[in-house]
Structure 1
Amino acid sequence: MAGALDVPEDRRASPYTGWTREHWLAQADHLLDSVKPFASPSSARFELPGRPSVSGFDSDALEGFARTFLLAAWRIVADQGRGPVAEDLIARYSSGLAAGADAAHPEAWPRIPQGRPGQPMVEAASIALGLHYTREWLWDKLDTRAQGLVADWLGEFVGNPTWPNNWMLFQTVTEEFLSSIGAEYEESEILRGLDATEEWYVGDGWYTDGAGRNFDYYIGWAMHLYPLVWTQMAEGGARNDRALAAREVYRDRLRQFLERYFDFFGADGAPIHQGRSLTYRFAAAAPIWVGEMFDCSPYGAGLSRRAASGVMKHFAEHGAPDERGLLTLGWHEPFLPMVQNYSGPASPYWASKGFIGLMLPADHRVWTAPESPLPVEVADFETAIGPVGWSLSGTKRDGVVRLLNHGSDKARHHTTPLAEYTDAFYSPLAFSTVTAPDTEAEAWAKRVGNHVALIAPDGRVTSRAVIEPIGAAAEWGASRHVPGFEEEPGGTVRGVEGAEIETQTFVKEGAEIRVHRVTAPAGWTVREGGYPVAGPEQVLRGENEKLPGAFAINDLGVMSRIESLGGWTSAGVESELGANALGAFSGTPYLMAEHPGGTVFYRSKVMVYRLPDEGVDEGADESVDEGGEVAE
């Protein structure tokens, strides 16, 4: 079964990736063809193999329909509803809609729950979006009975609450579609999701996804995507004036967001490995395409194409989709320890959002402009997203991008400030395009990778829970937190009385100087970890007692190093098996010291980089300036 990798590359039009619109079409067709064997007889349910989600088998089968339907919708629009591919998809998903929405049909979807949030609400939004964009070829061709059944199923959303985050936008687009077909809807429910995003907007194009400081890729593939497509759905209707006015606001915010978003991708196309639902993979390309759709990208179309094709090609070359043509629960290959319990076998198909650019015609500038290089391919850079508390650092020599996190913690997501917890995809101090946190439960409980932790005399390790941002700018960032212990996994973190850790980071040319002002009881141990590196073979490791310092290097040539610049007394490497999404073997270098009590400064130099093909340049990082003055 052919996929994008079987299409000849065109290095003249795409000098960086070789990918063209034909590659995107081929990859979409490959994914859609590969799920056909798992469809029910009427194609209302797609029962894909894999671990079920917490929502159950029936919900997972609905998810298989809705999320692949979103991809099918973009693909139908790409061919303007004509030709064998589009016609086959229209027939398949028309049949599925009629059967799934019929409560009496053996392939019926689970209903949208009443009085509480439920997973069918998420899938309703994908179905509504797909129907909106394919209306003239699919919805308008459904018979009256099928239209009524689908409208009734979607209409169960009306009058019901959602979770107070991006889920509110699912209700916005679903009920806007209901309005457009003359079905029952509630205007206040359309608008309350849009109003909520105003409360979550923090500046520079960034939102928090609900209460707290929940910053991750959802901001691009949800918080920017849904409001802008809503303005298209509402245009010409009862909310036309609001939609037109809001579009300019949303376009400007997306433009600001995209000014720094291209910094998140390594030269190999890999996105920075941070945040939840990373199994959606190339959904990370969605806001790039939306910027082109709404003519608000701050840069040329060649950069948009290069970034989007780069991320798609990266995953295609690293096992996603797999040899069956399926997207699995993982990053490259299947890896359940990085997957949240709400994700089931079809959840990865929200990656369909990354194909939204297929709705742009073949003669659109994004498909005709030659690719231009990513920021990390142009020069070294240090940038920042102040409202989020992030500093970014990219190095041209190895194409690696790093993110220093002084502001995203997800500690109060859906909760009161008293119910704090840590999350492997938010709590660490740093992330990169070539590393991932150790997320297997026992490994994560050690809090080694990119954590500065206190270890109690009884061996318990503190968490970095609620992060209090101090500031972030190019080359610098700072935050503080109260280290504490989780009462149970994923539960409340109780702070250590009288303890506090304030961290400043200085970064230049990929070298990080980390300064920790640690206040803690006497007799406790302080430990800081560098970046975990992982690969399919045993990680090499080394220690230097004189510095002290340590390093770990994987079989792919990614090196993680940490060295003491003051305060630390010993070093080591923590090794894990089956803990990391990037490989079976992982290793994390770390520094340690016994804390004398009171307040003490600990300084370190941390690096993660890809070795040159010819081997280690031992002098390369010796020339890096070890930072300027440190504020004490």
Structure 2
Amino acid sequence: MLARIKRRLKKQFRRPLDPDLLTPVRAKLTSPLDHDLSPHTGWTRQHWDELAGIILAGAAGFFSPGRAYVKVPGHDTLRDPRIDGLEGFARSLTIAAPWFHREGGTHVSPEGESVDLLEFYRTGLRNGTNPQHPEFWGSAGDFDQRILEAADIAWSLFVARKHLWDPLSNDEKESLTAWLTGANGKSVKINNWVLAKVMINVVLRALDQPHSEEEIGDGLALVDEFYVGDGWYQDGLTEGYDYYNAWMFHDYLLKFTLIDGALGSKRNAYIRKRSARFLEDYRHFFAANGSQVSFGRSQTYRSAALGPVVMGAMAGGLGLEPGLARRLASGNLKFFLDGGMLAKRGNLTLGFTRPLLPLIEGYSCGGSPYLLGRAFSALLMPAEHPFWSATEEPLPVERGDYSLAVSVAGLILDGEKQGGHVQLVNHKSTSLVDGRQEKYGQFTYSSHFGYRVATEQSGHPPDSSLLVSRDGKSYSGRDKPFHLQASPGFGSSFFLPFGGDKTVVFTNTIFCDHFQLRIHQIVSTAPFSVIEGGYALGYDQGAPSAQSGPDWEFVGDGKRGSFIRRLVGFDHGRPASVPDGDGDAHLLAPHSATPGVGLRLGNHRQILLVSLVRGCLNGETPEDLASFVGKVESGHNWMTVTLANGDALFTQIGTVSEREVAVNGVRLSGRTVYARVFADGTIAAHYLDHSVS
């Protein structure tokens, strides 16, 4: 894998590549652990300060001679090359600006040479905004990335005013203001970008500089149109619901309320209320290992996902207890630090944990991962702040099991205390910016299993996906899910694997005691074949053990295992095998293996397919997993399953009709899409009109 990334980077840059840029290291922090204050992570504010210094020391080695660019090799975009260097400067500055408030000075020592990082950034601000300087950043145009990076520079000026803004001469302030206001009047993408001009202008207002109240008002009005409820914003006019809700919308909006200062205003009150509602659910996205469930685009931003947690703490918590907020945040940073986010040269790697170039979008460059500066706003809070002084509290998944739905976003979360595992099902979100299917099109995403990333060699990976083929050779998966329903433990949607209406796949997913039941109805006018995969089990070396049973496939490595059982419709198993050569690119590990099931090519017309899927962390055997489901009955659009514990499940899919059915001796009636009848006769039912009983 490392050799493949090196080959691609050499071709892209057309210059020799330093392998140390891609060699991950597990940096050991020297700050003493405090397990009394932080029983889960041991981390204190000192660890955050030390880690910020390490990241900044690494970035210092990539400054341009005029200090206006931080050009980190790793992946060039097709934009003006100056913008990639500006991105590295602006985003790393969001780490430096809070760090400058420390008592330990502003010097770092890249490659053993002590440099004043504060002077580097001051010089860069002077030269980057001077049209006569060779390293001038250039003026913003329509739909220009400079506008987005200017927003981060503006935030940094506000929080480190005495370090960055006050020392500038009047002429330098005028040049910097002129460069920032160059964004005004320019068109931006109608999505999270609209907040960039809000940030720029509210900071300029706070600095008593020329600004546009119209840009502030227009931007906030557009964001209000994006709001769909329960703390969630759609990313523009698409069905985009992902971590941009955290690291752009809520992060920027909470920063706005801090800069605006009018905390009692009606506008700021509803911004904070929406963020509080978001954090109420958002804490459930984080697993005991520290990771958020990786899902959606721009996953190389990593701990930028902590933005609303940190800003929420600065705003008084917003319902998130300070000990819980720090446990979540410290655990997340520790997860990525241990996972390989730092390279031997000191740069942040392009990937989720380790370097993984196939994961990276075309708009990302070597400076993109420094958006994790969102997390380091925490250093603006003094040591006595409750965020730092409260004793760590356990995450929701460390307190107990849960099943939670973010219905407006079509997302369902399942938390399992034993193992600290969090799973996420997507029945709605998609992206027009990066439409690669594995980032949105998989049915389930996992904090511990990750997923395979598509490469030119692999096509759409089969893990956690249903792939359909018209010829048995070329397969297509779910690109855009058309949302039908999402409620705790149950969701439904449909998709068009070939884009037209000749083949339609309806899918119901049921979480039941952390197992997934996936029910599909495929309606097609042409012959087709099908592949469905369980989780991709990532591993470092030494192939895991693959086993096949009468109707199941399993692959295990120690206590971890990925299991899939065919219950209805599928006609064969697909034993777990290691992808060949460059075809394997897994989010968390160099290699992976995926168990699967399939349906051979035929003129099926309309068929019901049902599988049972489990990702396990506690050493379960495939025989034990297979025994979870007992008797199965089905028709062309319905299924009843009796579980080993005596509970029974019923679901309808596709065209849901008025139906009377006896389940576990209990008669159900109406347009029931899903019901669980417990062994004691109690019922939990979901209906077509979204009502629940």
TM-score (structure 1 length as normaliser): 0.90
Which secondary structure does the structure 1 equivalent of 2:478 belong to?
coil
Q: Is the 8 A contact 1:378 1:396 kept in 2?
A: yes
Please say which of residues 564-573 and 588-597 is displaced more in the overlay: 588-597
Aligned counterpart for 2:69 among listed residues 38, 42, 45? 45
Is the CA contact 1:292–1:366 (under 8 Å) kept in the aligned structure 2? yes
In structure 2, distance between residues paired with 1:84 and 1:575: 48
Q: Write the letter of the residue equivalent to 1:185.
A: H
> Residue by residue, what CA displacement relative to the aligned partner does 1:111-141 show, whole Å, maximum 9, x if unpaired?
322xx21121111011000001112332122
Does 2:132 align with 1:104? yes
- Cα distance in 2 for residues equivalent to 1:478 and 1:270: 26
1:27 to 27, 35, 51: 51
Unpaired runs of at least 5, structure 2: 1-24, 109-114, 630-642, 654-693
Letter paired with 1:423: Q
Alignment partner of 1:588 is 2:591:
no
Cα 1:413–1:316 shift into 2, 3 Å: closer
Q: Which residue matches 1:601?
A: 608
CA contact (8 A) 2:437 2:460 kept: no
Is 2:182 aligned against 1:177? no
In the other structure, the counterpart of 1:451 is 465
Matches within 5 A, 1:145-160: 145-160=171-186
SS at match of 2:440: coil
* 2:564 corresponds to: 562
CA distance in 1, matches of 2:608, 2:459: 25
Q: CA deviation at 1:468?
A: 1.5
Deviates more, 1:446-455 or 1:155-164: 446-455
Distance 1:67 1:346 in 2: 7
1:131-210 matches, cutoff 5 A:
131-210=157-236
CA distance in 2, matches of 1:348, 1:531: 26
The change in CA–CA distance for 1:533 and 1:111 in structure 2 (over 3 A counts) is farther
The code of the aligned residue for 2:195 comes to L
Task: Mark the CA change 1:380 to 1:59 in structure 2 (over 3 Å): closer, same or farther.
Answer: same
Q: CA, structure 1 residues 103+423, in 2 after alignment: closer, same or farther (shift >3 Å)?
A: farther
Aligned to 1:36: 60
Tell me the distance in 2 between the aligned counterparts of 1:156 and 1:296: 35
More displaced stretch, 249-258 vs 586-595: 586-595
Cα deviation for residue 584 of structure 1 reads 2.0
**Distance verdict in 2 for CA 1:519–1:78, change over 3 Å:** farther
The separation in 1 between residues aligned to 2:545 and 2:526, in whole angstroms, is 31
Post-superposition shift, 1:3?
A: 6.0
CA–CA separation in structure 2 for the residues paired with 1:481 and 1:108: 48
The change in CA–CA distance for 1:278 and 1:446 in structure 2 (over 3 A counts) is closer
Amino acid at match of 1:609: C
CA offsets 1:182-241 (integer angstroms, 9 cap, x no match): 444332222222111111111111111111111111101111111221123233xxxx59
Q: Structure 1 residues 55 and 47 mapped into 2: Cα distance closer, same or farther (>3 Å)?
A: same
Distance 1:307 1:313, change over 3 A: same
Moved more, 305-314 or 143-152: 143-152
Tell me if the contact between 1:4 and 1:26 (Cα under 8 Å) persists in the aligned partners. no
In 1, the alpha carbon distance for the partners of 2:547 and 2:303 equals 37
5+ long unaligned stretches in structure 1:
415-420, 485-493
* Residue pair 1:273, 1:435 contacting (<8 A) in 2 also: no
Structure 1 distance, partners of 2:547, 2:137, is: 57
Distance 1:621 1:365, change over 3 A: farther
Distance in 1, matches of 2:433 and 2:75, equals 25
Tell me which residue corresponds to 1:126: 152
CA contact (8 A) 2:460 2:477 kept: no
**Residue of 516, 519, 523 corresponding to 2:527:** 523
Q: Which among 511, 516, 520 is matched to residue 512 of structure 1? A: 516
2: CA distance between counterparts of 1:545 and 1:422? 33
The residue that corresponds to 1:498 in the other structure is 502
Residue 259 of structure 1 pairs with residue 294 of structure 2: no
Identity of aligned residues (%): 31
Contact 2:467 / 2:530 at 8 angstroms: preserved in 1? yes
Structure 1 residue 423, shift from structure 2 partner: 3.3
Is the 2:77–2:365 contact (alpha carbons within 8 Å) kept by the matching residues of 1? yes
Is the aligned partner of 1:536 residue 2:540?
yes
- Over 3 Å counting, the alpha-carbon distance change for 1:225 and 1:543 in structure 2 is same
Whichever residue aligns with residue 569 of structure 2, its letter is G
Q: Separation in 2 of the partners of 1:23 and 1:107?
A: 35
The 1:308/1:4 distance shift into structure 2, 3 A limit, reads farther
Partner of 2:345: 324
Partner SS, residue 607 of structure 1: strand
Contact 2:68 2:86 in 1 (8 A): yes
Query: Residue 256 and residue 402 in structure 1: after superposition, are their counterparts in 2 closer, same or farther (change >3 A)?
Result: same
CA distance in 1, matches of 2:73, 2:480: 37
Instruction: Give SS of 1:345's match.
Output: coil
* 1:629 corresponds to 2:635: no
> In the alignment, does 2:438 pair up with 1:424?
yes
Q: Distance in 2 between matches of 1:56 and 1:44?
A: 15
Of residues 532-541 and 431-440 in structure 1, the stretch that sits farther from structure 2 once superposed is 532-541
Q: 1: CA distance between counterparts of 2:559 and 2:134?
A: 53
RMSD: 2.4
1:306 pairs, out of 327, 334, 337, with 327
Q: Secondary structure at the match of 1:565?
A: strand
Question: Quick one: which of 374, 384, 403 aligns to 1:382?
Answer: 403
Q: CA deviation at 1:154?
A: 1.0
Which of 530, 552, 556 does residue 555 from structure 2 map onto?
A: 552
Paired with 1:192 and 1:84, the residues of 2 have a C-alpha distance of 38
Q: CA deviation at 1:539?
A: 4.1
The worse-fitting range, judged by mean Cα deviation, of 85-94 and 311-320 is 85-94
Counterpart of 2:166, as a letter, is D
CA distance in 2, matches of 1:3, 1:444: 33
Deviation at 1:596, TM superposition (A): 4.3
Matched letter for residue 511 of structure 2: V
CA-to-aligned-CA distance 1:270-294 (integer Å, 9 cap, x gap): 1111011111111111111111111
Question: Could you give the per-residue CA deviations for residues 362-387 of structure 1, whole angstroms, max 9, x where no partner exists?
Answer: 11111111111111111121111111
> SS of the counterpart of 2:438?
coil
Secondary structure of 2:36's aligned partner: coil
2:289 to 241, 247, 268: 268
Letter of the structure 1 residue corresponding to residue 310 of structure 2 = W
Tell me which residue corresponds to 1:436.
450
The alignment covers a number of residue pairs equal to 602
Distance 1:466 1:445 in 2: 17
If the length of structure 2 is used for normalisation, what is the TM-score?
A: 0.82
SS of the residue 2:609 aligns to: strand
1:76-102, CA deviations, whole angstroms, 9 ceiling, x for partnerless residues?
2455xx845599443332121111111
Tell me which residue corresponds to 2:687: none
AA partner of residue 110 (structure 1)? G
Partner Cα separation in structure 2 for residue 93 and residue 498 of structure 1: 58
Per the TM alignment, residue 527 of structure 1 is displaced from its structure 2 partner at its CA by 2.1
**Bigger Cα Rg:** 2
Deviations 1:24-48 (A, max 9, x none): 0000111111221221234222122
- Once the 2 structures are TM-superposed, how far is the Cα of residue 350 of structure 1 from its aligned partner? 0.5
